[in-house]
């Protein structure tokens, strides 16, 4: 246990220069002090980014911030041309900030079911053009959905199909999202939907997957046993090249 703790601390220490380079010393101290803050938001200015970033203290926002901006899990070789991005499971919107900073002219569709997450997405995307927020979840058909685990944090909601009058929001197929927003090709698909990816890849995946060039998938085997094998079989079916970056499966057309 002691060795594990020491390894974890050394792993965290190696990122200190990156934190300082991105935020500067003053903002790093501000971030550390935010753990005791009662303010609803911490506002940060990132080096290399035009927009300010809003972060909710004492939530998973800090973990997501670290994955995206410090560890740079999305810093991979992208397609040369990116016109359309679909971000399924946008949470607080940091992924949107990252992608729109890199691909300023791309049209981005953000799909998120939680109202409070949508509010901070709006804050984090102020000033960006062509960002369209869809309140709902991703499913293999258009249907009604509800939250399965209401006691989970807002970063870990899992959803199921709603029966009778239990619906809480709409579920949309990726085919429907493409049709609604006039998307012929999904140049980048990012999907982090807490196990619902198994449902999305089980049925009605042929059209949208054939029209997808590149993507990031976070697989949740603990929530959806068998999803890893299923997704890899679908990606193999469409001849994608597959690699890993952080917690994400990265796939691209060969």
- Let me know: does 87 contact 110? Beta carbons within 8 Å: yes
The domains of the chain are located at 80-253
24: helix, coil or strand? helix
CA 237/CA 231 separation, integer angstroms: 10
DSSP bridge partners of 191: 88, 217
Could you tell me the CA-to-CA distances from 191 to 58, 80, 107, 121 in Å, in that order? 24, 21, 16, 16
Question: Confidence band (pLDDT; 50, 70, 90) for 158?
Answer: confident
Share of the chain above pLDDT 90, in %: 78
Mean pLDDT, the chain, as a whole number? 91
Could you tell me the CA-to-CA distances from 178 to 45, 85, 183, 209 in Å, in that order? 33, 10, 5, 11
CB-count burial class (<10 Å; 0-12, 13-18, 19+) for 93:
buried
Which of the pair, 156 or 62, is modelled with greater confidence? 62
128: helix, coil or strand? coil
Q: What interhelical angle do 94-102 and 115-124 show, nearest 10?
A: 30
Closest CA to 138 of 118, 110, 165, 163: 110
Would you tell me which CATH number, out of the four given (3.30.379.10, 3.40.50.2020, 3.40.50.150, 3.40.50.720), belongs to the domain 80-253?
Answer: 3.40.50.150
- Tell me the whole-structure pTM to 2 decimals: 0.91
pLDDT the model gives residue 153: 56
Per-residue pLDDT for 6 more than 90? Answer: no
- Which of 7-11, 53-57, 145-149, 171-175 comes out lowest in average pLDDT? 7-11
pLDDT the model gives residue 156: 59
pLDDT the model gives residue 37: 81
- For residue range 62-91, list pLDDT tens digits in order: 999 999 999 999 999 999 999 999 999 999
């Amino acid at each position: 246990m002691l060795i594990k703790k020491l390894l974890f601390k050394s792993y965290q220490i190696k990122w200190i220069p990156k934190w300082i380079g991105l935020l500067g010393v003053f903002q790093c101290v501000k971030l550390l002090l935010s753990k005791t803050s009662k303010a609803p938001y911490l506002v940060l200015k990132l080096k290399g980014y035009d927009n300010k970033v809003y972060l909710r203290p004492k939530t998973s926002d800090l973990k997501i911030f670290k994955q995206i901006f410090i560890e740079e899990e999305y810093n991979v070789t992208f397609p040369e041309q990116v016109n359309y991005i679909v971000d399924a499971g946008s949470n607080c919107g940091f992924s949107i900030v990252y992608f729109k900073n890199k691909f300023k002219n791309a049209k981005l569709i953000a799909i998120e079911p939680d109202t409070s997450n949508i509010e901070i997405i709006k804050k984090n995307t102020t000033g960006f053009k062509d960002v369209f927020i869809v309140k709902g979840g991703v499913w293999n058909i258009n249907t009604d959905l509800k939250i399965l685990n209401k006691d989970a944090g807002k970063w870990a909601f899992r959803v199921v199909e709603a029966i009778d009058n239990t619906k809480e929001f709409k579920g949309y197929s990726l085919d429907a999202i493409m049709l609604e927003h006039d998307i012929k090709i999904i140049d980048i698909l990012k999907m982090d939907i807490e196990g619902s990816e198994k449902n999305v890849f089980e049925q009605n995946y042929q059209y949208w997957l054939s029209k997808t060039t590149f993507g990031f998938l976070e697989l949740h085997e603990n929530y959806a046993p068998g999803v890893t094998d299923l997704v890899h079989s679908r990606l193999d079916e469409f001849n994608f090249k597959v690699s890993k970056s952080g917690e994400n499966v990265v796939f691209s057309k060969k």
